[in-house]
Structure 1
Amino acid sequence: MIVITTPTGQIGGRLLEILLDETRTRGEELRVILRDPGRLPDGVGARVDVITGSHGDAEVVDRAFDGADAVFWLVPSNTQEPSLDAMYSGFTRAAAKAFTTHGVGHVVGVSALGRGTPVASRAGHVTASLAMDDLIASTGVAYRSLANPTFFDNLLRQVASIRNNGVFTDTVAADRKAPTAATRDIAAAAAGLLLDRSWTGTGEVPVLGPEDLSPNDQARIMSEVFGRPIRYERRTLDEFRTALAEHGVGDALVQGYLDMMRAKDDGLDDGVRRTPQTASPTTFREWCEQVLKPAVQA
């Protein structure tokens, strides 16, 4: 049995789709954990075992991991957590104990690039995510962390600005090239690991996308896809801080985002070489044509 957390999120939702299709002929059972089963797509609830509640709750994961062979682990965003440790490792501690209690064999987690880089210890959310990986690995479970760069899909938060103003923003330098990836490719990487559990020990699986791009590169591609000018505006970290606070993000998490973005501009995502094994297939142009453009035109 495979247990999926966040089964209605960008990564978890796509993972669930893949596994429902793949396990149709394999006979492997699927179980999902979520607070509101009504958010599952029509017909899915009848095909999976549903555990209602938060996967940060000890009683919930105790029920969910009973009989489980593998778990997909993703910590949800909570803008009001008192600290980054509480958001990542604190949320994960009950599950880490349950992995051992129930003899879960394999865990695949969503994490970040940066381990081993000079800025990894001061990268906010990424630093906390890497500490969560260490916590899971310390249980003795076979563990693979999906080491991800910035997601293409983060641009979906700026659909209105792209549509109305032809502008998207970030805090990194306009000409700084870095890996970026589609969340659907991250889900596909997770599915491959969960279905073929021949791996042992602990390690990272980078998902780097097919090429490094700068914000200026992205603006050029978006302009070509949309048939009109789209430009990038770099915002300062102070402007980013203000925007996060206006959206109700707590102080500790705001600082974590600022530290992460500063670290990204200092090379946080540059430590892994792209190879056929670390590249992922979806290009930024494909993603813009298939995901962003329909969202902007909706």
Structure 2
Amino acid sequence: MTKSPQVVTVLGATRNFFKVGHYTLRRLAADAPQLMLRLAIPEARIAGRAVSDIDVQLRDWEPAQPASLVEALAGTDTLLMVPPIDRRVDIGGMYLRAAQKADVKEIVCLGVQFTPGQCTMADEAAALEALLEKSGIAFDVVQLPMFLENILYQCQSIAEAGSFTFPVDVDRPFSYISCDDAAELFCRKILSPDSVNLSGALMSHHVQATCAQWASALSEVCGRPITFASQTDEHFVASLAKYGMRREAAVQVLGLWERISSDGDAPATGSAEQLLGRPTTDLETWTKAHTCCFGPAFTSCPHPHPPTQHMFGPA
């Protein structure tokens, strides 16, 4: 009797599907064609346009109907769980109850770089980790810093106004990782769960960077001055609202930046590099590789972007 293929499901709460889930599915499709891949996300057929060129099952589910999530996860062996910032514990708890009913064997869950008491987002992440511990499902919670891809929300500003902004001082160091590097770590775990441990250390590039360094890198690849301006708290919260984030969740993201500003980011580590067996992608190299994201043709460049721009293409 032929053994059924291992099913790997990427689970998310919104169709804002252009970062780690997107890169993980693409890496698995290329490196492990024996797997059955699935995207379980509300309005999956819309988000699925971003991976229409690879073999991925699309499973819709309705957040107000937990039973629909159980159905979407049925048959899943390994779950890449991308909990939302907004109502992380409530929605993450729903994910876990569905995973239990669907008999999921392993979960790789995205976490944050801080520990309880350092910011609200860290408190929420820790509360969700406690639920994971009680679930009876094997899991890794992956401590992750800022994704370099977060700047892709500002392509238009960089292309048209030559500027970008975050709520942090220009010379304040932050830790980071690229989504592709994070995805490769997840793939290593998915393909060899017993020999890879992604819990317990920050998965970041081995050195930190500043927005001053990023402005310099952007200026070099764009061939014109790109400037950075520290963003006010209210402007930052309002900018996230444009992408549909509730104010309460936006304030949590702001709290993470406030922690970086006041006490510093979690220190960079070499753990990701050690696990990958190669150097992780540095900010300058990533920026150069994404030059097309920051010019006037950014809406038609090949890299995945936030869905309000172009990544889903025509219906």
TM-score (norm: length of structure 2): 0.78
2:21 maps to 12
| CA deviation profile, 1:84-127 (whole Å, cap 9, x unmatched) | 5xx21111222212333343221001121112xxxx42523343
Corresponding residue pairs, total: 281
Within 1, Cα distance between the matches of 2:283 and 2:109? 24
Correspondence for 2:172 among 160, 172, 176: 176
2:281 maps to 282
| CA deviation profile, 1:123-181 (whole Å, cap 9, x unmatched) | 23343233223222321222112211111111111112212222111111221112111
Q: 2:148–2:179: 8 Å Cα contact kept in structure 1?
A: yes
Cα gap change, 1:205/1:99 in structure 2, threshold over 3 Å: closer, same or farther?
farther
1:81 maps to none
Within 2, Cα distance between the matches of 1:246 and 1:203? 33
Match status 1:42 vs 2:52: yes
Q: Identity over aligned residues, as a percent?
A: 19
1:129 alignment partner, SS class: helix
1:281 alignment partner, SS class: coil
Offset at residue 193 of structure 1 (A): 0.9
Provide structure 2 residue ranges, at least 5 long, that are not aligned to the other structure. 1-6, 298-315
Correspondence for 1:296 among 287, 294, 297: 294
Greater alpha carbon shift after TM alignment, 277-286 vs 212-221: 277-286
Q: 1:225–1:285: 8 Å Cα contact kept in structure 2?
A: no
Greater alpha carbon shift after TM alignment, 263-272 vs 195-204: 195-204
Cα gap change, 1:282/1:246 in structure 2, threshold over 3 Å: closer, same or farther?
closer
Q: 1:114–1:268: 8 Å Cα contact kept in structure 2?
A: no
Cα gap change, 1:49/1:143 in structure 2, threshold over 3 Å: closer, same or farther?
same
Cα gap change, 1:43/1:229 in structure 2, threshold over 3 Å: closer, same or farther?
closer
Within 2, Cα distance between the matches of 1:246 and 1:32? 25
| CA deviation profile, 1:21-59 (whole Å, cap 9, x unmatched) | 2222xx332232132325423343xx3333222478421
Cα gap change, 1:234/1:138 in structure 2, threshold over 3 Å: closer, same or farther?
same
2:129 maps to 133
RMSD after superposition = 2.8
1:191 maps to 187
Q: 1:161–1:168: 8 Å Cα contact kept in structure 2?
A: yes
**Quick one: which amino acid aligns to residue 26 of structure 2?**
E
1:203 alignment partner, SS class: coil
Within 2, Cα distance between the matches of 1:265 and 1:139? 35
**Quick one: which amino acid aligns to residue 9 of structure 1?**
F
Q: 2:189–2:198: 8 Å Cα contact kept in structure 1?
A: no
Q: 2:76–2:104: 8 Å Cα contact kept in structure 1?
A: yes
1:253 maps to 249
Cα gap change, 1:185/1:198 in structure 2, threshold over 3 Å: closer, same or farther?
same
